Amino acid sequence: MEKDRVLRILNQFAAGQIDQEQAWLALQPPAGTDLDFARPDLQREDRCGYPEVIFGQNKSAAQISEIMQRLAEKSSQPILATRCSEEKYRLLQAQIPQAVYHAQAKIISLTREEPVPRGLVAVVCAGTSDLPVAEEAAVTAGFLGARVEKYYDVGVAGIHRLLNVAPALQKAKAVVAVAGMEGALASVVGGLTAAPVVAVPTSVGYGAGFGGVAALLAMLNSCAAGIGVVNIDNGFGGGYLAGVINRQSCHEENA
């Protein structure tokens, strides 16, 4: 956060660890943030609590690498690039050997300091076909500092499987419900927990599912309260929102 950064610099100056000139330079806004192809938002963490996340789809490995390194210069928090292929990751490794690939989530991460897990975000998905989107949500929430528990293949077609994990869901600060087909999972989860439910429709399903539109509309029309809906296949958005809810809840408990 900007306030924390400024106070840290002032404390270093007061303790004699840096001189007046060094303190002045450290307090200046970052220079040279614009690249030929992108303008990394180096102040995102100061405003929002987390660094900017790179949307890797249609970006080259070289572009992702340069943005990632620029963001990492400003932040000690994990830097993420979403929607990245393994081939793109292999190319990026030449520039950033310490980067890690989360294959099912298709996320590349660069971590210097692992977040200390706190709170709890539960990620549930209806079926195995929904796993890539669910993993994108789980990995994202985890890098935002949440403790994450995953409950997969608990769709309403076998309702007993979901009911078996209902006590665990009731302990979560936020629940991410990922489902395709008719998208009923979010409504049922919404009736089983007091936590906010972030519904993520997926494009999994047959022709009448219209590539996830049926699940999206079902989630938007849910009769259960406390449900918010993100876009089709947007596991990142679902995991990010749940991570923010979890963070705010933990802050309130510690206040």
pTM of the model: 0.84
Q: Residues 112, 45, 106, 244: is their CA dihedral positive or negative?
A: positive
Answer whether 108's CB lies under 8 Å from 91's CB: no
d(CA 122, CA 96): 31
**What parts of the chain have a pLDDT lower than 50?**
1, 31-32
In angstroms, the CA 219 to CA 184 distance is 7
In DSSP notation, 140-188 reads HHHHTTEEEEEE-S--GGGHHHHHHHHHHHTT-SEEEEEE-TT-THHHH
Residue 1: predicted pLDDT: 45
Do 202 and 133 form a contact (C-beta atoms < 8 A)? yes
Give tens-digit pLDDT for 67-86: 999 898 888 889 999 999 99
Q: Give the span between the Cα atoms of 216 and 177, in whole angstroms.
A: 12
Q: How far apart are CA 227 and CA 198, in angstroms?
A: 6
User: Is 177:149 a contact under the CB 8 Å cutoff?
Assistant: no
